[in-house]
Amino acid sequence: MQTQRVVDEFRNEPFTDFSRPENADAMRAALERVSSELGREYDCLIGGERVSLDKKFKSFNPARKEQVIGVFPEVDSDTSLVERAIDAATEAFNSWRFVPPAERAEYLFKIADIMRRRKHELSAWMVFEVSKTWSEADGDTAEAIDFMEFYAREMLRWAQEQPVTKIPGEDNSLEYIPLGVGAVIPPWNFPLAIMSGMAMAAVVAGNTVVLKPSSDSPSIAAKFIEIVEEAGLPPGVVNFLTGSAATGEAMVTSPKTRFISFTGSKGVGLHINEEAAKTRDGQIWIKRVVAEMGGKDAIVVTDDADLDAAALGVVQAAYGFQGQKCSACSRLIVDEKVHDELLEKVVRLTEALNVGQPTESDTNVAAVINKRAFDKTLEYIQKGVEEGGEIVTGGTGDDKTGYFILPTIIDNVQPGDTIEQEEIFAPVLAVIKARDYNHALEIANGTEFGLTGSVYSASEERLERARREFHVGNLYLNRKCTGALVGVHPFGGFNMSGTDSKAGGREYLLQFMQGKSISRKI
């Protein structure tokens, strides 16, 4: 008989200190091991069975664009496989839904244990497949471990007796039960953390899922599936498909899927929401959509701020992972009285960043994800100049070996300009002058998004105003607007940034469950 583990209080997984030689050596060894596996073929997984197809696609290294990372089945050519995967998930749900919550949570604890053992290996896959630097990849892996540990504990909490008002003559209770089969469509920018967090939050709540990773990051998802199998999760609980938009579309539109969990662009998210709202033949429920979409995040710097701290926070938030985070600082809104002084500091720190191959330990900025992102970013930079912006540093790219764009600062951007309104998802920072704090908050709130934001100020009154008036799901005061920690900073945004899912928060699992009230006369 298996002994149930003692569950202590949640603690975030520590980041690796690569300044210590033994840690740096371990990461280099992991990179070498993973490099020997590049280019291999992978299968889909449906109901515990490996499935391959003649038609395949390749995943490439953005920093070495000819280097193949993995080869995968192109399910788009056979959407009947989608229905097969959904049917496998439906069959597995019939038993998985009744597995005790503590047992379901134990699988997540096992997955976290395996992730810790393979920590540098998982990070190394992200270095190669999505061009994450060492620290960014390590942070991604740590967050994935956090999601497993946190959601397992949360399921144990939700499984406890829930408070209801007591009345004489009845025994009343409220319990949470799973929804059914879910379509899980994660992004490429946090290819382990967000992908595994989305999938396993639904699973630990008693659901089964069909998981389709981004075509830019299928290899790390395949490695996660290996871990799921090693942990002994029953067949059909997690089904793994690879393909492009047609695969995801078939998952979303199937009348057999009960919910869709999506993280990605605004356009795709809105399309999914629209399609999910349509009731199709045989569908007996209103589908639930959990959508985390884009951002146009701003850091506001007032005239009384610590400019050194603000400059460091801006540069870290703007250029970490090449600005390819929905939380990234893409707008610097600065009081005109300190504009010149702050901009000088930001430029100095930006130009000190080392642009290079992510496999090197001293690289700060690597490649953007693909050719389309490279071209689109250069178009946005040109658009910024055409609309009156001034390139202060950067502004160019080089795609001879990989998709590298220099960290770019565009000054004199006006509220309403294209690069002040649209998400670029690249290392481009728009600088906007504000007349005063009132004007700064007006500019900050003047977009369709509402994900993250930050204010640097020495004034308690101004910080309190930001609490009340800065309309974002994650507000940071006197610190950068990226780097949300599971459990510490529940993450999700307002308006066109999504459904405010609050990933890594105490409410997140509720999105994958429904309440059942039970009353018995006594």
The residues that are catalytic are 292, 326
d(CA 5, CA 379): 54
Phi, psi of 208 (to 5 degrees): -120, 155
Report DSSP letters for 188-237, one per residue: SSSTTHHHHHHHHHHHHTT-EEEE---TTSHHHHHHHHHHHHHTTPPTTS
d(CA 241, CA 252): 13
DSSP letter at 479 equals S
**Pairing relationship of beta strands 404-405 and 397-398 according to DSSP bridges:** antiparallel
d(CA 202, CA 95): 15
Q: What is the dihedral of CA 195, 197, 203, 207, to 10 degrees?
A: -70
d(CA 258, CA 283): 9
d(CA 241, CA 251): 10
Residue 266 sits at the vertex; the CA angle it makes with 423 and 83, to the nearest 5 degrees, is 140
- Using a 10 angstrom Cβ sphere, with 0-12 exposed, 13-18 middle and 19 or more buried, the burial of residue 354 is exposed
119: left (phi over 0), alpha (psi -120 to 50) or beta: alpha
DSSP letter at 354 equals -
Using DSSP, state whether 406 is helix, strand or coil.
coil
